[in-house]
């Protein structure tokens, strides 16, 4: 039996909003994500979705409980090790594309590689170009984010998330900022990479049409997992 | 260089993107550097001018015979016989073996000129007028390397042979003597001789122009009853501020008295030091205000770029890398600012010359402009830039990626 990609046990997160009041946002969550899953994380605003996503992405530390990524307990890791693990194994796509406006599309895609090893090699650049080709941006490789449309920028951000061939892709409202047609295109990209690369995808979304197209829907309410069901994904209109 | 390629690229790109802010910082640094460079050139030029004017009429080091000291008379069992010892009056003495010392000093690399002198007091008479003067016998070829007498001749010409003499403008006026006229010189013990004035000099110091009288060595030795002797040796050194060190070495090695201008003119040296201190103080304050300018603009830039810093952190950029990006930015704006500031500094220096304030005009002086000055100012600005960036850089490095990305 292969190990799960990600395993949470009794994971809690509290914020001390000022003293002495401590607010627990996540209450001892247990969750397992298997390799190759395509899951949606849904729930009302304030239910702790973004907090959970930040914990899963090693951007934040849990108050209690364990998070095991690829068989590795992350609790005792130093900041530098967490940063390294994040860079190699996890890809992020945010609601707002979050591209750096001072860099071209290709350079933005290469950002995780440049952060880890410095000047990218010709192979790295070729890989970035191949990814951009795959999402249909061959003609826009050298443009700055400001010269691209919202959908194009989000596709660049997806390429950036995938450049290190991560095991897990975390997406926070990836289509929240896009019109319906563009949303469908972007979502389709996720599905394709999920199928072709066995990439595990977790999408935070408010959009029921998107969650309906996922294999698994995890619902978070008030910091607890209210429901967790697997489904046959609809094909999307 | 390769190891910080990513940090370097980020630093440069972000600076280029925030054009207004970058321009603002660089402008401020350029201004500060221009002020520092010009001020330094001005003050060091002024100091060199003051020193040159002071030392233009005197030797850097004056060597003379050691002072006569009265020794207490003692018996064999070391009991002092005399209770009171009077200080001895100093008689005029020749420096022992001066030609040998002169030859040895000629070979010292720090020394550029050596000139023996025979000097003593005398009375100059012409008709009913008499003035007390400082008579100095010189070797003209050697002495002009110490004091450029030949360049300060106002009337007649610079020449000293046989019974010829050079006098100052003030003495010429006091005695009513012109070129070609004769003046009698008398020394204490009734010796006297008559000399022809061949040149009248003006050193620009009233006292010197009134009292100095130059003769060839031989008649001066005869008048002072020191045949073949020299009462002193004047020395010029390559580095004026090394004079005291050289003087002490000479004094130790040859057991003679050697006094540098730094001892005889210690008041000037103190004044120069005080001036340097105040200049340095101004430079420090300019540097500090520039540093605060850099720090505040970078601090604003950290706040503005919080979201981007958050993205970079999420993309695997470590917090030391972020720190380096901002430190590099500080150093970079310092470097570029200094390079740009050198232009207005050079402009001000050129203007100085243009306005006729340089040495070519009377009362003016040259600015001291050296490549080291620009290199030093650039290095200073780079270091100050980096130090100023420390606080903002640490703040950027400490940003929590989650918080940072929430920022707009």
What separation in angstroms does the CA of A95 have from each of A98, A175, B399? 8, 6, 21
Mutate: best of A77, A92, A111, A159, partner B, most B CBs <10 A: A111
Answer whether A100 sits within 8 Å of B312, measured CB to CB. Answer: yes
Number of Cβ atoms within 10 Å of the Cβ of B243: 24
Answer whether B315 sits within 8 Å of A115, measured CB to CB. Answer: yes
SS3 labels along chain B: CHHHHHHHHHHHHHHHHCHHHHHHHHHHHHHHHHHHHHHHHHHHHHHHHHHHHHHCCCCCEEEECCCCCCCCCECCCCCECCCCCCCCCCCCCCCCCHHHHHHHHHCCCCEEEEEEEEEEEEEEEECCEEEEEEEEEECHHHHCCCCCHHHHEEEECCCCCCCEEEEEHHHHHHHCCCCCCEEEEECCCCCEEEEEEEEEECCCCHHHHHHEEEEEHHHHHHHCCCCCCCCEEEEEECCHHHHHHHHHHHHHHHCCEEEEHHHHCHHHHHHHHHHHHHHHHHHHHHHHHHHHHHHHHHHHHHHHCHHHHHHHHHCCCCHHHHHHHHHHHHHHHHHHHHHHHHHHHHHHHHHHHHCCCCCCCCCCCCCCCCHHHHHHHHHHHHHHHHHHHHHHHHHHHHCCHHHHHHCC
Q: How confident is the model at residue B373 (pLDDT cuts 50, 70, 90)?
A: confident
Mean confidence (pLDDT) of chain B: 85
The alpha-carbon gap from A237 to the nearest alpha carbon of chain B, in Å, equals 33
Tell me the average pLDDT across B147-155: 87
pLDDT at res. B360: 57
Mutate: best of A83, A91, A99, A169, partner B, most B CBs <10 A: A83
Nearest to B259 by CA among B64, B117, B52, B31: B64
pLDDT at res. A66: 85
Q: Which residue of A has its CA nearest to B320?
A: A80
Of B17, B307, B317, the CB nearest to A115: B317
Residues of B at the A interface, defined by Cβ within 8 angstroms: 2-6, 9, 13-14, 16-17, 307-308, 310-319, 321, 400-402, 405
Nearest to B146 by CA among B248, B222, B257, B243: B243
pLDDT at res. A191: 86
Answer whether B6 sits within 8 Å of A115, measured CB to CB. Answer: yes
Mean confidence (pLDDT) of chain A: 83
pLDDT at res. A231: 78
Q: Residue B76, exposed/middle/buried by CB under 10 A (0-12, 13-18, 19+)? A: exposed
- Write the ipTM: 0.79
Q: Which residues pair with B237 in a beta bridge?
A: B111
Q: Buried b / exposed e across B198-210, counting CB within 10 Å, b at 16+?
A: bbbbbbebeebbb
- Classify residue A11 by its DSSP letter: E
Percent of chain A with pLDDT over 70: 95
Number of H helices, E strands in chain A: 7, 10
Tell me the average pLDDT across B269-280: 86
pLDDT at res. B1: 46
Q: Which residue of A has its CA nearest to B17?
A: A102
Cα–Cα dist B107/B133, whole Å: 34
- Decide: helix, strand or coil at residue A42: strand
pLDDT at res. A19: 62
CA of residue B163 relative to chain centroid, distance: 39
Give residue-wise pLDDT tens across range B20-38. 888 988 898 899 889 888 8
Which residue pairs from A23-31 have beta carbons closer than 8 angstroms and sit at least 24 positions apart in sequence?
Answer: A24/A63, A24/A223, A25/A51, A25/A223, A26/A51, A26/A52, A26/A55, A26/A62, A26/A223, A27/A223, A27/A224, A28/A64, A28/A65, A29/A65, A29/A223, A29/A224, A29/A225, A30/A225, A31/A6, A31/A7, A31/A218, A31/A225, A31/A228
Give residue-wise pLDDT tens across range B71-119. 767 777 777 666 677 777 777 788 888 888 889 888 888 888 999 999 9
Answer whether B405 sits within 8 Å of A94, measured CB to CB. Answer: yes
Q: Residue A221, exposed/middle/buried by CB under 10 A (0-12, 13-18, 19+)? A: middle
Tokens matching residue B170: 């003030």
Give residue-wise pLDDT tens across range B330-362. 999 999 999 998 888 888 888 877 776 666 555
pTM: 0.71
Number of Cβ atoms within 10 Å of the Cβ of A173: 20
Tell me the average pLDDT across B229-252: 88
Set out the domains of chain A in order of their start, with CATH numbers: 36-60+79-230 (3.40.50.300)
Cα–Cα dist B199/B183, whole Å: 13
The alpha-carbon gap from A235 to the nearest alpha carbon of chain B, in Å, equals 32
Mutate: best of B22, B314, B322, B398, partner A, most A CBs <10 A: B314
Q: Which residues contact B278 (CB under 8 A, 6 or more apart)?
A: none
Q: How confident is the model at residue A18 (pLDDT cuts 50, 70, 90)?
A: low
Q: Which residue of A has its CA nearest to B399?
A: A59
pLDDT at res. B408: 47
A61: left (phi over 0), alpha (psi -120 to 50) or beta: beta
Q: How confident is the model at residue B167 (pLDDT cuts 50, 70, 90)?
A: very high
Tell me the average pLDDT across A183-189: 81
Higher per-residue confidence, B118 vs A151: B118
pLDDT at res. B363: 61
How does strand A224-230 pair with strand B153-156? unpaired
Cα–Cα dist A32/A68, whole Å: 10
pLDDT at res. A13: 85
Give residue-wise pLDDT tens across range B37-83. 888 888 888 887 888 777 778 888 998 888 777 776 777 777 766 66
Phi, psi of B127 (to 5 degrees): 60, -130
Q: Which residues pair with A64 in a beta bridge?
A: A12
CA of residue B106 relative to chain centroid, distance: 23
Cα–Cα dist B70/B85, whole Å: 7
Residues of chain A with C-beta less than 8 angstroms from the C-beta of B314: 57, 59, 86, 92, 98
Residues of chain A with C-beta less than 8 angstroms from the C-beta of B315: 87, 92, 111-112, 115, 160
Pairs of residues, one from chain A and one from chain B, whose beta carbons lie less than 8 Å apart: 66
Residue B345 · residue B388 · CB < 8 Å: no
pLDDT at res. A237: 44
Q: What is the DSSP string of A99-140?
A: --TTS-HHHHHHHHHHHHHSSPPHHHHHHHHHHHHHTT-GGG
Of A87, A99, A102, the CB nearest to B316: A87
Q: How confident is the model at residue A43 (pLDDT cuts 50, 70, 90)?
A: confident
Residue B279, CA atoms < 13 Å, CB-side half-sphere: 19
pLDDT at res. A1: 44
CA dihedral A229, A230, A232, A237 (to 10 degrees): 60
Answer whether B9 sits within 8 Å of A114, measured CB to CB. Answer: yes
Q: What angle do CA B63, B64, B68 make, to 5 degrees?
A: 145
Cα–Cα dist B132/A24, whole Å: 103
């Amino acid at each position: 039996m292969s190990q799960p990609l990600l395993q949470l046990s009794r994971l809690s997160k509290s914020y001390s909003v000022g003293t002495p009041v401590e607010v627990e946002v996540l209450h001892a969550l247990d969750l397992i994500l298997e390799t190759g899953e395509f899951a949606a994380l849904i729930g009302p605003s304030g239910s702790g979705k973004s907090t959970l996503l930040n914990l899963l992405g090693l951007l934040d530390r849990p108050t209690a409980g364990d998070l095991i990524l690829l068989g590795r307990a992350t609790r005792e890791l130093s900041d530098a090790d967490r940063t390294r693990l994040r860079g190699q194994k996890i890809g992020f796509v945010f609601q707002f594309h979050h591209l750096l406006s001072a860099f071209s599309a290709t350079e933005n895609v290469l950002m995780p590689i440049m952060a880890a090893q410095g000047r990218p090699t010709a192979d790295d650049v070729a890989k970035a170009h191949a990814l951009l080709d795959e999402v249909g941006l061959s003609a826009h490789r050298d443009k700055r984010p400001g010269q691209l449309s919202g959908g194009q920028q989000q596709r660049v951000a997806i390429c950036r998330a995938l450049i290190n061939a991560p095991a897990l892709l975390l997406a926070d409202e990836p289509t929240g900022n896009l019109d319906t047609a563009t949303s469908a295109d972007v979502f389709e990209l996720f599905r394709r990479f999920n199928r072709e690369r066995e990439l595990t995808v977790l999408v935070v979304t408010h959009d029921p049409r998107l969650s309906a197209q996922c294999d698994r829907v995890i619902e978070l309410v008030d910091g607890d997992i209210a429901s967790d069901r697997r489904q046959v994904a609809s094909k999307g209109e | 260089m390769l190891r910080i390629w990513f940090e370097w690229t980020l630093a440069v790109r972000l600076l280029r993107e925030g054009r207004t802010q970058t321009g603002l910082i660089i402008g401020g640094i350029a201004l500060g550097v221009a002020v520092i460079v010009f001020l330094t050139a001005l003050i060091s030029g002024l100091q060199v001018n003051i020193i040159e004017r002071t030392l233009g009429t005197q030797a850097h080091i004056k060597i003379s015979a050691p002072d006569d000291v009265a020794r207490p008379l003692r018996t064999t069992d070391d009991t002092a016989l005399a209770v009171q010892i009077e200080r001895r009056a100093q008689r005029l003495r020749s420096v022992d073996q001066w030609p040998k010392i002169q030859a040895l000093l000629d070979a010292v690399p720090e020394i550029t000129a050596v000139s023996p002198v025979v000097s003593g007091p005398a009375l100059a008479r012409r008709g009913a007028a008499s003035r007390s003067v400082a008579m100095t016998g010189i070797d003209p070829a050697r002495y002009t390397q110490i004091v450029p007498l030949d360049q300060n001749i106002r009337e007649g010409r610079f020449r000293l042979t046989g019974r010829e003499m050079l006098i100052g403008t003030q003495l010429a006026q006091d005695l009513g003597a012109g070129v070609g006229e004769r003046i009698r010189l008398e020394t204490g013990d009734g010796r006297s001789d008559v000399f022809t004035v061949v040149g009248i000099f003006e050193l620009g110091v009233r006292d010197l122009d009134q009292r100095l009288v130059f003769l060839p060595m031989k008649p001066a030795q005869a008048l002072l009853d020191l045949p073949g002797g020299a009462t002193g040796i004047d020395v010029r050194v390559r580095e004026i501020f090394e004079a005291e060190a050289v003087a002490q070495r000479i004094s130790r090695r040859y057991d003679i008295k050697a006094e540098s201008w730094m001892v005889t003119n210690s008041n000037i040296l103190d004044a120069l030091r005080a001036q340097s201190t105040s200049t340095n103080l101004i430079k420090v304050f300019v540097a500090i205000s520039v540093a605060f300018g850099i720090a505040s603009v970078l601090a604003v830039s950290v706040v503005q770029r919080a979201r981007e810093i958050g993205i970079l952190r999420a993309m695997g950029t470590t917090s030391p890398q972020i720190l380096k990006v901002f430190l590099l930015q500080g150093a970079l704006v310092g470097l570029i600012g200094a390079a740009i500031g050198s232009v207005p500094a050079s402009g001000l220096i050129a203007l100085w010359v243009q306005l006729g304030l340089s040495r070519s005009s009377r009362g003016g002086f040259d600015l001291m402009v050296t490549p080291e000055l620009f290199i030093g100012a650039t290095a200073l600005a780079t270091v100050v830039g980096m130090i100023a960036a420390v606080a903002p850089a640490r703040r950027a490095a400490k940003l929590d990626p989650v918080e940072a990305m929430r920022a707009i």
